[in-house]
């Protein structure tokens, strides 16, 4: 998966209708709302450049939607993302409290399942209004979740039944 420089990430977010500042993007990475960038020096006196995993575009868009449009608190978004990542990486290793917390989030916070759908729609170029479900996920070489979508009105398992 291709990486994306901070400037390009901010430009693409703005194309999606989300104006995000450089400091906000850096803060979201520190707060674990999006994948952390690889920060490289451009040389003495020239500065640094932040390069994000390509998956950061969808995650940053989802973070903006959850924080700005849905009114979630930073700690809740970080908890949701953290639980989803832990579940995706090691679904059988969630302890009882984590399973209960994730279950409560899925049951009581409207739209919580929208996180992976938003991330995947943005990263895969789907129209945001197109109904979809997540039917599978994988981890890429950088440890980012790649959510796989299916049209909501199609039975993803039909070919195997």
Q: What is the pLDDT of residue 60?
A: 95
Q: What is the pLDDT of residue 81?
A: 85
Q: What is the pLDDT of residue 83?
A: 76
The pTM of this model reads 0.77
Six token digits for residue 42? 């451009």
Burial of 152 (0-12, 13-18, 19+ CB in 10 A): exposed
Q: Please, what's the b/e burial string for 40-70 (b: 16 or more CB within 10 A of its CB; e: otherwise)?
A: eeeeeeeeeebebbbbbbbbbbbbbbbbeeb
For the chain, give me the number of helices (H) and strands (E)?
A: 6, 5
Low-confidence ranges of the chain (pLDDT < 50): 110
Note whether 112 and 105 are within 8 A (CB). Answer: yes
């Amino acid at each position: 998966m291709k990486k994306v420089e901070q400037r390009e990430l901010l430009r693409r977010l703005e194309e999606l209708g989300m104006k995000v500042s450089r400091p906000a993007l850096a803060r979201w990475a520190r707060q674990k709302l999006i994948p952390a960038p690889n920060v490289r020096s451009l040389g003495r006196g020239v500065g640094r450049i932040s390069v994000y995993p390509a998956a950061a575009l969808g995650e940053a868009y989802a973070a903006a939607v959850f924080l700005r449009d849905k009114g979630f608190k930073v700690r809740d978004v970080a908890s949701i993302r953290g639980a989803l990542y832990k579940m995706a990486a090691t679904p059988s290793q969630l302890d009882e409290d984590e399973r209960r917390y994730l279950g409560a989030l899925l049951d009581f916070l409207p739209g919580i399942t929208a996180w992976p759908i938003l991330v995947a729609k943005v990263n895969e170029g789907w129209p945001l209004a197109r109904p979809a479900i997540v039917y599978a996920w994988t981890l890429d070489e950088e440890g980012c979740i790649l959510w796989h979508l299916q049209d909501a009105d199609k039975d993803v398992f039909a070919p195997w039944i």
